[in-house]
């Protein structure tokens, strides 16, 4: 018993990490992947109540409680298209989303192109509910590196804080890693703050997966009117902490503020006292600038295919996902070539049996006699003749166009793409 309990605790810890950290190949936590799968299944081309997507996810993939919070996150990140009030994080106080019965969502076409073009070829496993789900989505980039919000997670003994980037910057970085682009682009993470760290710090994040990036919030000064507009502050800091630092000035009636945020954060601070306005303004701005300096500690911890927590660089994530996406393309091209081979073989077989089939129509024997006669006359195995006659009507077998020129041409193109696989894949990245 003493030996069993530590193992059970370890197993639970690994399972907890698997649920809370993204997979390194597609950059998705299980619940995020399952929400996207559900939306792709029932809300691919039309808006569906968020509660329906939530219920489908719980009923087919994720029996661990409701997923509406993840749906809201996917909408805010731009991976799902939302209709209704999905809340906002801008301004003084975040505004929560409306209840799931009042909102709707559907797949974004960009998300389909990004991660679902080759979903048929992704390896599948059984869910806890007996359905099948892909181990990973066949995505072009790790999803956690996209969007506008950093991915966070806390597990057993680990935490993760993953940056996100502009997709065009990621493409440039990937091309450099593949040796296609000559000069190394040192790309910055997306932030609404001003990055003050050096290029070396940014490179460290890309090459190691962890770094401390210095930032400062953005303000717009208006000295003539003794007014300053706060546009952003470092992640991890709360607006209330700023107010506490200025409580003395506010209690004395020196400074006041209004939240003018609509589509972006705009918190306007105004000097209220007429006497010594310029001095009060300068002291306030100086103090505010100090408070707006901060450090973001990124640490890209993920789980691998064996559910082990790993620290992975941004560069390795890009390369491994590119290789996975390439393997999905390879599987697709091979499948298309095989399908065309089967179609050509079927049409050639039909061409062989047609003369004998026409003779049968004149004598009208019973079906069994017809099959034997056609097989003998055409030299085609009886089982193939029987399969054709059972699947298709005689009229279709006699009138179907059996010219294989177009099919052979398409097969030749697929074989060429398979031979030049890397170029074929890169074309999909817009290169």
For residue 88, name the pLDDT band (cuts at 50, 70, 90).
confident
Q: What CATH number is associated with residue 37?
A: 3.90.199.10
Residues 69 and 103 in one domain: yes
Residues 79 and 157 in one domain: yes
For residue 367, name the pLDDT band (cuts at 50, 70, 90).
confident
What separation in angstroms does the CA of 212 have from each of 150, 201, 207, 316?
14, 7, 13, 19
The reported pLDDT for the residue numbered 382 is 85
Per residue in 267-304, pLDDT tens?
999 999 888 899 999 999 999 999 999 999 999 999 99
Residues 147 and 59 in one domain: yes
The reported pLDDT for the residue numbered 4 is 60
For residue 16, name the pLDDT band (cuts at 50, 70, 90).
confident
DSSP 311: E
Q: Is the pLDDT of residue 113 over 90?
A: yes
Residues 121 and 253 in one domain: no
Asked if residues 77 and 150 have their Cβ atoms less than 8 Å apart, the reply is no
Average pLDDT, the chain: 90
Residues 118 and 10 in one domain: yes
For residue 431, name the pLDDT band (cuts at 50, 70, 90).
low
For residue 365, name the pLDDT band (cuts at 50, 70, 90).
low
Residues 277 and 396 in one domain: no
What average pLDDT score do residues 121-127 get? 92
Per residue in 186-242, pLDDT tens?
999 999 999 999 999 999 999 999 999 999 999 999 999 999 999 999 988 888 887
The reported pLDDT for the residue numbered 376 is 83
Packing angle, helices 314-363 and 167-177, rounded to 10 = 90
Residues 226 and 342 in one domain: no
Q: How many domains does the chain have?
A: 4
What average pLDDT score do residues 73-99 get? 91
Q: Which residues of 281-296 are buried (b: 16+ CB within 10 A; e: fewer)?
A: beebbeebeebbbbeb
Residues 154 and 8 in one domain: yes
In 3D space, the residue among 238, 232, 243 whose CA is nearest the CA of residue 265 turns out to be 232
Helix spans in 27-178 (H): 30-42, 50-60, 68-77, 109-115, 167-177
Which structural domain, as residue segments, surrounds residue 282?
Answer: 218-291
| Percent above pLDDT 70 for the chain | 95
Residues 372 and 344 in one domain: yes
Residues 223 and 351 in one domain: no
Q: Is the pLDDT of residue 92 over 90?
A: no
Strands (E), 163-244: 194-195, 210-216, 219-222, 227-230
Residues 287 and 302 in one domain: no
What average pLDDT score do residues 396-411 get? 88
What's the pTM value of the predicted model, to 2 decimals? 0.90
- Write out the DSSP string of 102-132: G-EEEE-HHHHHHHTTTGGGS-EEE-TTS-E
Q: 138 or 94: which carries more pLDDT confidence?
A: 138
Any idea which of 35-49, 115-129, 369-383 has the lowest mean pLDDT? 369-383
- Write out the DSSP string of 373-419: HHHHHH---HHHHHHHHHHS-HHHHHHS----HHHHHHHHHHHHHHH
Residues 284 and 314 in one domain: no
The reported pLDDT for the residue numbered 236 is 80
What average pLDDT score do residues 163-188 get? 95
């Amino acid at each position: 018993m003493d030996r069993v309990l530590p193992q059970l605790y370890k197993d639970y810890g690994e399972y907890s990490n698997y649920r809370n950290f993204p997979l390194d190949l597609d950059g998705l936590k299980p619940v995020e992947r399952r929400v996207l799968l559900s939306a792709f299944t029932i809300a691919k081309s039309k808006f569906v109540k968020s509660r329906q997507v939530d219920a489908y996810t719980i009923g087919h993939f994720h029996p661990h409680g409701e997923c509406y919070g993840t749906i809201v996150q996917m909408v805010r990140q731009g991976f799902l298209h939302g209709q209704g009030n999905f809340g906002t994080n801008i301004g003084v106080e975040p505004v929560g989303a409306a209840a799931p019965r009042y909102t709707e969502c559907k797949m974004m076409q960009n998300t389909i192109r990004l991660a679902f073009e080759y979903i048929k070829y992704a390896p599948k496993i059984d869910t806890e509910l007996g359905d099948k789900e892909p181990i990973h989505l066949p995505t072009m980039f790790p999803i956690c590196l996209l969007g506008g919000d950093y991915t966070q997670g806390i597990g057993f003994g680990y935490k993760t804080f993953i940056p996100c980037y502009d997709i065009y910057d990621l493409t440039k970085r990937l091309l450099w890693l593949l040796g296609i682009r000559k000069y190394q682009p040192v790309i910055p993470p997306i932030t609404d703050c001003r990055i003050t760290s050096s290029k070396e710090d940014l490179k460290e994040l890309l090459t190691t997966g962890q770094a401390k990036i210095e930032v400062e919030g953005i303000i717009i000064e208006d000295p003539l009117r003794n007014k300053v507009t706060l546009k952003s502050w470092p992640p991890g800091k709360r607006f209330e902490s700023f107010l506490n630092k200025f409580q003395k000035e506010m209690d004395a009636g020196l400074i006041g503020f209004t939240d003018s945020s609509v589509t972006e954060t705009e918190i306007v601070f105004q000097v209220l006292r007429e006497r010594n306005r310029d001095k009060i303004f300068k002291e306030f701005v100086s103090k505010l600038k100090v408070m707006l300096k901060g450090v973001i500690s990124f640490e890209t911890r993920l789980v691998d295919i064996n559910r082990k927590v790993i620290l992975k660089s941004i560069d390795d994530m890009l390369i491994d996902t590119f290789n996975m996406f390439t393997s999905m393309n390879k599987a697709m091209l091979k499948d298309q070539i095989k399908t065309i081979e089967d179609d050509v073989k079927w049409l050639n077989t039909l061409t062989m049996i047609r003369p004998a089939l026409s003779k049968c129509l004149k004598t009208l024997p019973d079906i069994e006699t017809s099959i034997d006669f056609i097989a003998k006359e055409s030299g085609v195995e009886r089982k193939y003749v029987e399969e054709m006659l059972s699947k298709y009507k005689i009229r279709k077998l006699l009138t179907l166009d059996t010219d294989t020129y177009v099919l052979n041409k398409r097969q030749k193109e697929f074989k060429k793409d398979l031979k030049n696989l890397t170029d074929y894949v890169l074309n999909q990245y817009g290169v």
